[in-house]
Amino acid sequence: MPPENPDRPHGETPAADQRTRLRVPAMDCPVEEKAIRERLLGLPGVRGLEFDLVGRTLALSHAADALGTAREALKAAGFETEVLALPVAGEGPQENTVVPPATWWRIGVAGTAALGSEVAQWMNGGNTWLVVVLAAAAIVLGGFETFKKGWAALTRGNLNINALMSVAVTGAVALGEFPEAAMVMVLFVVAELIEALSYERARNAIRGLMEMAPETALVRADDGSWTERPSAQVAVGATVRVRPGGRVPLDGIVTAGRSAVNQAPITGESLPVDKAPGDQVFAGTINESAEIEFRVTAVAGETTLARIIRAVEMAQQGRAPTQRFVDAFARVYTPIVFAVAVLVAVVPPLFFGADVVPWIYKALVLLVIACPCALVISTPVTVVSGLAAAARRGILVKGGVYLELARKIKVLALDKTGTLTRGRPSVTDVTATSAMPQDQSLAVAASLAARSDHPVSAAIVSWHRARREAAPLAGAERFEALAGRGVRAAIGGTIYSLGNHRFAHDLGVCNSTVEAVLERYEAQGRTTVVLASEREVLAVFAVADTLRETSRDAMRDLHALGVRTALLSGDNPKTARAIANEVGIDDARGDLLPEDKVRAIEELAVAHGTIGMVGDGINDAPALAKADLGIAMGAAGSDTAIETADVALMDDDLRKVPELIRLSKRTAAILMQNITLALGIKGVFLVLALAGTATMWMAVFADMGASLIVVANGLRLIRS
């Protein structure tokens, strides 16, 4: 469930909400975001706002009749808006930022005029009517929109980049610096266009995920013929054919054919996975070797790929800690620099008898570098790039806060079944400890296990099916599942219990003979299951689950990163310790009920600091929720894991956890580089401006150049 929208006014009910997505071209800084929030949240019918500064879009939750009022309010505040189609994950790419050719022609003419003004002034040794006319043409052609947005911003007390540039250019004109004013305006507009195209690269990282699923599918009609139809129109239950080399258009279950499928777009797996009838396939994956047919299990907007895209898009709306800090800093930075500029223009002439023009010029240079756009945009672009890079590796991170948190993990707790092991255990041994025949005890155990969905129960049922001499299953009544212990039911009037070693102790039916059998199996690293009546233990089952090949490598990588590991298992302590020793885990704790795992998480957090927990996303939900970072394994195809986990590993490869930590460290390093770079460049030009060696066009180059540099630096996360 998505988090509650913090911009939803109290007392409003979302029952009749509509959702509209608006492009707001003038919104590129927290200053504009704050102004829009203040303007809209007081309006009747406006119930929620979701901002995307990178995309310059606003998702508006509103009553049916409130959209027009909201757009009019934004227009009055100087924010033109354009209604966009709501993105439907799985239906292909959304709109691109395309600069019309007419705009480039207009900017080209403006640039030529500005350059002509510079040349005319140099040839004539000063300003002439030609210099003024050419400069004015350049300013009007290049800066009309900037002045329009700047005036609207100034009227509402908003010191955004358009307002600052408008004041600076107007001041330069007032000082008679016509060519420089023209060149500054043209350079600013060109830099803005290039910057917008650079931001598009970050958005393309998410858009590239959408393009993985083909827009059409080859569907079998009622008469048996095959027709090509839009993927969005294919219903659940339809049969779809995918030829070799084609992409799977929708999620489904294979019904005919065998092939190797490249699942890297979804799970990040490096090798193709063999698919046969009964196996699941995912939209966006690539059929490599042979033709297959599958039955559709999810419509286009609800495929695993669609849910991944939706989760990444939602993740962009949150603010990572670094981003929140930068936004807060930016809100005070601009007014402070603006105030410094005013003091620079006023104090030296008034109190020290200095010449007015040079100090006003210095103040204008300060205005140009006062906008914190490079600083502000450095964080969301980097975080979005990191989220997209993780998604491409089969790691679904639900927000920038979790991406930043991963690098701080000091200890990682892990579940055993389905996490360290394959989750498909099998029975290896059975020891009868009573007079009940073994085939009868197996039938009773399988009758109880058939009512449970635990992997160990499934192993007992499978073993019963494989033995021809086993008695048939019996009807179980008054079935009861006891979390972390086992199950209990009545068969033929007798109460039977099937559970772990701890459960046998709770029932009070253990004796020295049973304990000896249990200790022998547990010393071998086997999971033990006890079948008992109300008076005695009837049989002991030994179950073994094979380790994943990647578990040892993952633990080795985690230790190399300085992360301590702990195994939290419901198995007996001896089995847990044996598994931990085999894999290379530091700490092992067994006989843990769900509430015991929560307490273990708390203890580990107190002892070591930030803690992560890896589990299957359902059985270990309390521990996953208690940990600082909950990581769900094998989330592909699991609605619950994708919707609830902080991080979801789309396949069952534990090596993705250290990969996530390394990506988190790299993201944090790039964030720090960008912040240092943006502040450093502004600091240098602040000194140069006060020293009188910086010009306005140099300041424009510095400001927009810094923006382009931090965007390009952030995009390195996607390319790496």
Tell me the mean pLDDT in the region 542-548.
Answer: 83
- For 278, phi then psi, to 5°, come to 100, -15
> Comparing C-alpha atoms, which of 243, 228, 255 is closest to residue 290?
243
> Does 325 have pLDDT greater than 80?
no
Average pLDDT along the chain: 81
Task: Please tell me which residue in 415, 545, 628, 651 is annotated as part of the active site.
Answer: 415
How far apart are alpha carbons 575 and 543 in whole angstroms? Answer: 11
* Residue 50, strand partner residues: 59
Locate 22 and state its tokens.
């608006």
* Mean pLDDT across 339-357: 87
Q: What is the pLDDT of residue 6?
A: 44
Give the Cα separation of 621 and 630 in Å (integer): 9
- Give the tokens for residue 118: 């510079």
d(CA 106, CA 560): 57
Residue-wise pLDDT tens digits, 624-676: 888 899 898 876 545 555 666 788 888 878 999 999 999 999 999 998 998 88
Q: Where are the domains of the chain?
A: 18-84, 101-206+313-384+667-719, 216-302, 385-421+548-663, 426-544
pLDDT of 91 reads: 43
Give buried/exposed letters for 253-268 (b at 16+ CB in 10 A, else e).
ebeebebbbbbbbbbb
pLDDT of residue 559: 95
Q: Are 201 and 714 in contact (CB under 8 A)?
A: no
Residue 545 half-sphere exposure, CB side, CA atoms within 13 Å? 25
Reported confidence tier of residue 562, pLDDT bands at 50, 70, 90:
very high
pLDDT at 460 over 90: no
H-helix or E-strand containing 254? Answer: strand 252-256
Percent of the chain with pLDDT over 70: 85
pLDDT of residue 15: 44
> In the CATH hierarchy, which fold is given to the domain comprising 216-302?
2.70.150
Q: Which residue has the higher pLDDT, 193 or 669?
A: 669
Does 483 or 295 have the greater pLDDT score? 295
pLDDT, mean of residues 336-357: 86
Within 13 A of 619's CA, how many CA atoms are on the CB side? Answer: 23
pLDDT at 417 over 50: yes
Q: Which residue has the higher pLDDT, 311 or 106?
A: 106
The per-residue pLDDT for range 150-162, each reduced to its tens digit, is 787 777 776 767 7
Q: Which among 538, 535, 516 has a CA at the least distance from the CA of 443?
A: 538
- Decide if domain 426-544 falls under CATH 3.40.1110.10: yes
In this predicted model, which residue has the larger pLDDT, 466 or 349? 349
Helices 321-352 & 373-392, crossing angle to 10 degrees? 170
Give the residue, 320 or 252, on which the prediction is more confident.
Answer: 252
Same topology between domain 216-302 and domain 385-421+548-663: no
18-84 topology per CATH:
Alpha-Beta Plaits (3.30.70)
Residue with tokens 């993105």: 87
Q: Say whether 415 is catalytic.
A: yes
pTM: 0.69
To the question of domain 385-421+548-663 being in CATH 2.160.10.10, the answer is no
pLDDT (average), residues 507-518: 87
CA-angle at 265, arms to 384 and 50, nearest 5°:
30
pLDDT band at 1; cut points 50, 70, 90: very low
- pLDDT tens-place string over residues 43-102: 888 888 887 766 678 888 888 888 888 898 888 877 888 887 654 444 444 444 456 777
SS3 annotation, 634-687: CCCCCHHHHHHCCEEECCCCCCHHHHHHHHHHHHHHHHHHHHHHHHHHHHHHHH
